[in-house]
Chain A
């Protein structure tokens, strides 16, 4: 019997995709893994286990993962460790059906002392002094996984439990808030907010000014999102997509930033990690000393009708947490290997 050539082509294609999707680390990663074994800072991330999202913490080399939440009825998501590493704030999807809502909590890094920050909140981040959690208020109405469905930025004071609005009441549709080391600036992705179509932006923490750091180029099919400021506040890492399938690539890109400039912009771009379609990389996070960048990596959602797997609370089969050498290109190692929707990693500083 003659085997149709199409069969072999399909077999090759399957083999190629399987190879690409595998979390195999690139060459030179042995050295990196060796460094991480001696690295004292830890990693917290969200992961989907037994029908439920939990927060896990692990060592920098991926060893000793520990479940911090163990709440079968609550989905804990989007963890952000405090600057001193003693606490973590996060989102929690609670309730069922029409009663489902996304709230914000914080707790000690060992999982004790859970305290609610606000009902219907999103995108929390810490101020550099660790005394305040900034967050976006979710839009009223039914629960949604739409990451940009928010309006109004607030500050929650851990000591007093009081909430204070940002001076600009028109902050809306921004996601992935982060603060500069001096506490004067936020960085975020604007998705239709503050007059930007889809851009990485910076806006004043206590003022009205805002700037587009990097806009998307619709004609070139280039988009960037989810910025994370380096500890020195002079670099930004973010996820980038460019091109259209089959030539589309995803990357974790790094660029320089001077927030003291009259018109801050990102400059001097370079890739830290690149993957070809159908893989994606997202959720960049600088290590406390700026040497490494955490990120999540996995296959894209094959259905055009379903939300992107990078979005909070969207299951992401095959996704793993990885860490890259911030000074190199494509030198990285996977820290998880079970593919259980491991996303949104964040460094936990250990003093």
Chain B
């Protein structure tokens, strides 16, 4: 089974009606783990029904399979439908390449740094990573 880690952290936003999270994905997303990992992202949608924005930090992501791209498209659809935003930060060249060919870079902006990505979510308002939430960051090791 391939190794994939997901860490979900809150980002502070000025608007109290909005919520934003950084989803840090590391390792390799493939057939052996993508379905279970995807469910964790869908859980966020249940917890935060509207105005949710996500920053996917792909700095440690080495490989994503076709299914994970399908999921990413679906997440994009669900979040934007509810008034949120999706951005990606620090994607490796091979991941960027795939996303570009698939056409997702035309829908989702990719930033070179995590700060830039966070800033874009907050519409120019400087941000800081939120202190650890009540349950703390969620980490999944596969």
Is B one of A's binding partners?
no
Give me the interface of B with A, judged by CB distance under 8 Å: none
